Amino acid sequence: MEKIKIDYNNADGFNGYSSDLMKEYVQSVEEGLDIEKYKAVFEAVSSLKNSEYKARLSDVLFDIVLHADIKKGYAYEEPSELKAIKALRKPHEFECAMPDKETLRKKLLGAWTGRACGCLLGKPIECIRSDELIPLLKETGNYPMHRYILSSDITEEVCSHYKFWLRNKCYADTVDGMPVDDDTNYVVLAQRLVEEFDRDFEPEDVASVWLKYQPVTSYFTAERTAYINFTNGIVPPSSAVYKNVAREWIGAQIRGDYFGYINPGKPEKAAEMAFNDACISHTKNGIYGEMFASAMIACAAVTDSIEDIILGGLAQIPETSRLYEAVMKIVDGYKNGVTVDECFDIIHAAYDEHTDHGWCHTISNAMIVAAALLYGEGDFGKSICIAVGMAFDTDCNGATVGSVLGMRNTIDGIDEYWKKPINGKIHTSIMGCETVAIEQAVDKTLEHM
């Protein structure tokens, strides 16, 4: 038989471990793994042309990472097991009041709609960096950001000023409903998950729903790697670990909203469900991001205090984690008079948006979510605009902030301007529910409580 040929230059760009070795190195060092003595080896193998030999050498480096010890003196304790996570939490008590049925329905309408509005605001400029976003907003009379970017803003002259591709995007004046997007797909997919497996679903159930309802091309970064791992018989939680350089990226943080929706006033339960979802594709702070977001939404159903919402979310993740420390830095800065512009500078100094790792990491984007909630002071439009205007993962952060404040403020707290393009519906790539009416999704959400 002729030798099977593999085109290593035509491999899946979201699942090429040997092409992502320096991302692996940076990720591992941040986790405190004792691998810095291998830096030159990582650099040397990374510089090789894609080939069978590079792939085999990368397998050796993965084995080194997999068995590396935490270096002495590492400042954080960051488990990926639920029992150990719970043991490291710092409780936060706050006054809360469960809404009546009518108000709860309005809150859920607000959460579903708010997520879509925030996502749509950031969607046309997803992947833009701030050194082009800010000039674009200024040139189009939208700085500081205060409205949707419209197709009428994007003239040929405007396009000629930027490297970022601005043509033929999903602008708010060109859509009928929320366009297909992974940020909104995951909310609908989570509803399908709970419908099929009830509230006590297991990680393996999440994997089965992913495989059943969407093709691999609907998933990105850590999710794409996990999906491919499932198909190769690598089950959760190993699916989150095997050759997954994006294991602490933002992917899980955008998946947990529904677990907050169906657990109003129960942040611990929301976070537990979020854990069972997150652990199939993420570890450590990647898991914590989803637990944090889900718990915040559960808190937002029962309190108007932005600080309590954020601290209530943090109360479900390890106080000893990098994510906890980073978000508290934003909270403390806000309370001590740091301005929104200074906060922007702090986040951009901590994480480099021009690297995939910095731009897409859970922590950098969670810092933006917290900042937008605080500096937006409860105003829906102002908050989602801050979230998107800080760059990084614009549609993800706009969506999470919109979800939290939609729950807090109810549908009545979202101005008609933001709701109009959504038109009460969400388009998805999920088989069997290609268009979802938000009103009907809310009815089902209430059934799942």
* CATH 1.10.4080.10 intervals, the chain: 82-124+176-447
Count of CB atoms situated within 10 Å of the CB of 204 = 15
Mean pLDDT, all residues of the chain: 96
CA distance 167 to 176: 18
| Class at the top of the CATH hierarchy for domain 82-124+176-447 | mainly alpha
Banded pLDDT at 320 (limits 50, 70, 90)? very high
Q: Specify the residue for token string 């960051």.
A: 78
- The share of the chain scoring above pLDDT 70, in percent, equals 98
Q: pLDDT tens digits, residue range 68-117? A: 999 999 999 999 999 999 999 999 999 999 999 999 999 999 999 999 99
Place 6 in a pLDDT band, splitting at 50, 70 and 90: confident
- Residue 4: its pLDDT value, please? 72
pLDDT digits (tens, 9 = 90+) for 213-256: 999 999 999 999 999 999 999 999 999 999 999 999 999 999 99
CA distances from 48 to 23, 40, 54, 63, 415 (A): 15, 13, 7, 19, 54
Which of these, 30, 169, 128, lies nearest to 393 by C-alpha position? 128
Q: Is pLDDT of 16 > 90?
A: no
Give the pLDDT score at 7. 74
> Looking at residue 11, what is its pLDDT?
62
Which of 99, 37, 205 lies closest to 446 in space, CA to CA? Answer: 99
Q: Report the run of H or E that residue 437 belongs to, with start and end.
A: strand 435-437
| Banded model confidence at residue 2, pLDDT cuts 50, 70, 90 | confident
Average pLDDT over residues 348-353: 97
Q: Per-residue pLDDT tens for 150-175?
A: 999 999 999 999 999 999 999 999 99
- Paired strand residues for 204: none
Query: pLDDT value at position 13?
Result: 62
pLDDT digits (tens, 9 = 90+) for 267-284: 999 999 999 999 999 999
